[in-house]
Amino acid sequence: MNLWKHSLLGLVTLLSINHANAAPVEIDRVAIIVNSGVILQSDIESTLKTVQVNANNNGQALPEESVLREQVREKLIIDTLQQQEAERIGVRIDDARLNEAINNIAKQNNQTLEQLQASVSAEGLTYPEFREQVRKEMSASEARNAMVRRRINILPAEVDTLAELLAQETNASVQYKISHIQLRFDDKQDKSQIEKQANELVEKLNSGADFSKMAYTYSKGPKALEGGNWGWMRKEEMPTIFADQIKMQNKGSIIGPFRSGVGFHILKIDDVKGLETIAVTEVNARHILIKPTIILSDENAQKQLQGFVQQIKSGQADFGELAQQYSQDPGSAAQDGELGYQTPDIYVPEFKHQVETLAVGDISEPFKTVHGWHIVQVLDKREVDRTDSALKNKAYGILFNRKFNEEASAWLQELRASAFVEELKGEQDEN
């Protein structure tokens, strides 16, 4: 689903995440202990500087530094926890996918790859360091995606009901550019006090207060350090609590406060645009899955699949027969490994990348996902427009996006609550 791309937009804006690490510092220290990892004071200072420069470039007002610094510290804690989850479940971003992501960053920044490299160098960050920053962003995002997917259950009846509603609509939908402030419930604070604060913020916003500054200062939502900016979204792509509140309001409208299970929310409609035609590319693919065990190492699983590829290409073996005999995905193994026509977005990112980039008939090299090692062959691709299959895929995507955003927020809060975090005070913190 390319959900990691939203995280990379911060890199497009400035290309200098943690660029202070590229230059030697005279004194550094551990500022925060996060489980078995640490956040250095230099990490905080460089991220703080990045946020300040980004805000200045975008004309956004910032709160006083002490407030902003606290938001940065919390963001780095969450990022570190996600990185630790990525390492725990074995997420790996290979160079091919990393190169594709960096090429996309260059395109989004209206640059060639050479111009991107020059921009990175001009900001004091070496290109290899920049590549590793992107790799870390991708691995953290994919860890989040993998863990949250396990929490999502979508019933066939839900898909059918929503598909019927979509069939009654036109093939176009309005897009909204929205910003968000979340005031999170705190066990130490009365909920009525949080509601009062939310109402006071709405009064200030309706009187002309800067929304992004308010988000930087008060929001505990996932986009706080982007000034609350969620970007362009259709209603079906938004969290349900957002979509339920938007009733074709005009540009500039302030919505809220409204309550959810985690706190009070305020939305702003920054802009409204366009109509979009529904079009879906479906891919019919088949795969063989081998899961590493205590006995079967990653290396041997990869070698086994590499042997299958050579046998298939030389005509010594049939893909379907090997899938029936060896694949550890029982649902598809019984069908010669075939997965049927699906939109690539339903697959985990590594698998999605393969079925999107392989030509019809091609077989991939062995690759790893959170499920194990795979080889995949693309059997066919087709464009589908307004068919029952397309509507069901769209309905599934809508339900998935809504539940994903809700579950992702809950997962991050649980991850944060269960972590060991110790903030070590230094001179910077005492001033």
pLDDT one-digit tens code per residue, 150-200: 888 888 898 888 877 776 564 346 788 999 999 988 777 788 889 999 999
56-60, 139-143, 336-340, range with the lowest pLDDT? 56-60
DSSP state of 171: S
In a shared domain, residues 335 and 315: yes
Residue 227 · residue 217 · CB < 8 Å: no
Q: Considering the domain boundaries, does residue 421 fall inside one? A: no
Q: State the chain's mean pLDDT as an integer.
A: 84
282-309 mean pLDDT = 94
Averaged pLDDT for residues 212-222 = 92
Note whether residue 273 is domain-resident. Answer: yes
pLDDT band at 19; cut points 50, 70, 90: very low
Same domain, 186 and 307: no
Note whether 177 and 76 are same-domain residues: no
289 lies in some domain: yes
Buried b (16+ CB within 10 A) or exposed e, 75-103: bbbbbbbbbbbbeeeebebeeebbeebbe
Collapse the DSSP code of 413 into the 3-class scheme (helix H, G, I; strand E, B; otherwise coil) and give the result: helix
- Res. 124 pLDDT band, cuts 50 70 90: low
Q: Tell me how far apart the alpha carbons of residues 251 and 245 are, in angstroms, rounded to a whole number.
A: 14
Does residue 302 form part of some domain? Answer: yes
| The pLDDT of residue 172 | 45
Q: Are residues 265 and 407 in the same domain?
A: yes
| Domain of residue 369, residue span | 280-384
Phi/psi region, residue 150 (left: phi>0; alpha: psi -120 to 50; beta: rest), is alpha
Q: What pLDDT was estimated at residue 170?
A: 45
Sheet strand arrangement including 229-234: 229-234, 175-184, 263-273, 254-259
Pair 143, 183 in one domain: no
Count of the separate structural domains present in the chain: 3
In a domain, 165, yes or no: no
Residues above pLDDT 90, as percent of the chain: 35
- What is the CATH number for 26? 1.10.4030.10
Domain check: are 48 and 195 in the same one?
Answer: no
427 assigned to some structural domain: no
- 302 lies in the same domain as 355: yes
Identify whether 163 is part of a domain: no
Tell me the pLDDT band of 3, cut-offs 50, 70 and 90: very low
CATH of the domain at 271: 3.10.50.40
What's the burial of 124, exposed, middle or buried (CB within 10 Å: 0-12/13-18/19+)? Answer: middle
Q: Are 370 and 141 in contact, with CB atoms under 8 Å apart?
A: no
pLDDT digits (tens, 9 = 90+) for 87-113: 888 888 888 889 998 998 888 888 898
Query: Within this chain, do residues 288 and 370 fall inside the same structural domain, yes or no?
Result: yes
Same domain for 366 and 272, yes or no, is no
Torsion sign across C-alpha atoms 247, 251, 257, 262: positive
For the cut 50, the answer to whether the pLDDT of residue 251 exceeds it is yes
Q: Can you give the pLDDT at residue 252?
A: 86
Instruction: Write the single-letter amino acid at 214.
Output: M
Distance, C-alpha 380 to centroid of its chain: 28
**Residue 200 sits in the same domain as residue 248:** yes
Q: What's the rounded mean pLDDT across residues 126-153?
A: 85
Please indicate, yes or no, whether the overall pTM of this predicted structure exceeds 0.85: no
- 336 with 371, same domain: the answer is yes
pLDDT in tens, 252-283: 889 989 998 888 999 999 988 864 445 678 89
Q: What is the DSSP letter of 238?
A: S
Residue 429 belongs to some domain of the structure: no
179, 229: one domain: yes
Tokens of 312: 């298939």
Per-residue pLDDT at 388: 59
Which residue, among 23, 16, 239, has the nearest Cα to 123 in the 3D structure? Answer: 16
